[in-house]
Chain A
């Protein structure tokens, strides 16, 4: 793939090395690589803004891509590999900055997750990963003295989005 065509904007910190795309922020951080004919974008929230620009650029030009965890780069494909990737897919929604930018950029995130599951036939790892991430996002604690519940993630729209995510992915897969 032509790496120069992939770069989404004229930011000077984009670096190409050995057919991989990096973004430089205190150190070189991998943003894109190609493996076994699949375009992997690394979902790294250390460089959340450039990653979303890259995703938007891909979806506008009609290039298929899948997202990968930062700790999972170039590892052999297994159930654990899919679990980590899909866990990262769901848990990164809890970051409010990432969530706002994702909705503003109008990227079809749900379709991307459905594509991942469809491509690797990884519904069982997704179920485990989604349940674990959901438990973490919707976690709340009870204060006896004030008789009130406190959520770990304060924003209600994020919690609603995550709780209805599995249903929408199933619908997307059927279509």
Chain B
């Protein structure tokens, strides 16, 4: 299957539908739908067009979603408890990856948020003085 724009939109809709179902079953007891009608026990499709629908459209993993959860890859789908067995964070994984590369004597990319510059002889390192 080709992973194009349509596929990404479909996946986003699947995620959104799941979130709406969770909201409708647990948190909402009565609410006003998009037409202004008061509903006591709304179904998930009653939430479409309301403020919660647009709030749940956000795909980004925020800080309060759990700093110890993995936010990408296969393991990211699983739910984990708040126990500090391993610090499953992006920064920890980056640092760990860097250490492994250095232990095996492999040159690595300079991990920054801006650009990924390579350490070679032609390009000077940060802090080196030009003569």
Note all chain B residues with C-beta closer than 8 A to A91: 35-36
Are the C-beta atoms of A70 and B36 separated by less than 8 Å? no
Q: Is A17 an interface residue (CB 8 A)?
A: no
Are the C-beta atoms of A25 and B35 separated by less than 8 Å? no
Min distance, Cβ B55 to any Cβ of chain A, angstroms: 15
Task: State the total of A-B contacts with C-beta under 8 angstroms.
Answer: 36
Are the C-beta atoms of B35 and A88 separated by less than 8 Å? yes
Min distance, Cβ B4 to any Cβ of chain A, angstroms: 15
- Please measure, in the bound complex, the distance between the C-alpha atom of A29 and the C-alpha atom of B47, giving whole angstroms: 13
- Please measure, in the bound complex, the distance between the C-alpha atom of A43 and the C-alpha atom of B36, giving whole angstroms: 12
One of B20, B34, B45 near A45 (C-beta < 8 A): B34
Are the C-beta atoms of A46 and B48 separated by less than 8 Å? yes
Q: Chain A binding site: helix, strand, loop or mixed by DSSP?
A: helix
Question: Per-residue 0/1 for A71-101: is the Cβ within 8 Å of any B Cβ (1 yes, 0 no)?
Answer: 1000000000000000010011011000000
One of A26, A92, A95, A136 near B16 (C-beta < 8 A): A26
One of A27, A48, A88, A92 near B45 (C-beta < 8 A): A27
Note all chain B residues with C-beta closer than 8 A to A88: 35, 37
- Please measure, in the bound complex, the distance between the C-alpha atom of A45 and the C-alpha atom of B16, giving whole angstroms: 19
Q: Is B17 an interface residue (CB 8 A)?
A: yes
On A, residues with C-beta under 8 Å from B are 25-27, 29, 43-46, 48, 69-71, 88, 91-92, 94-95, 136
On B, residues with C-beta under 8 Å from A are 13, 16-17, 20, 34-37, 45, 48-49
- Known contacts A70-B37, A92-B35; 17 additional CB pairs below 8 A are A26-B13, A26-B17, A44-B34, A45-B34, A45-B49, A46-B34, A46-B35, A46-B49, A48-B49, A69-B35, A69-B37, A88-B35, A91-B35, A92-B36, A94-B36, A95-B34, A95-B36
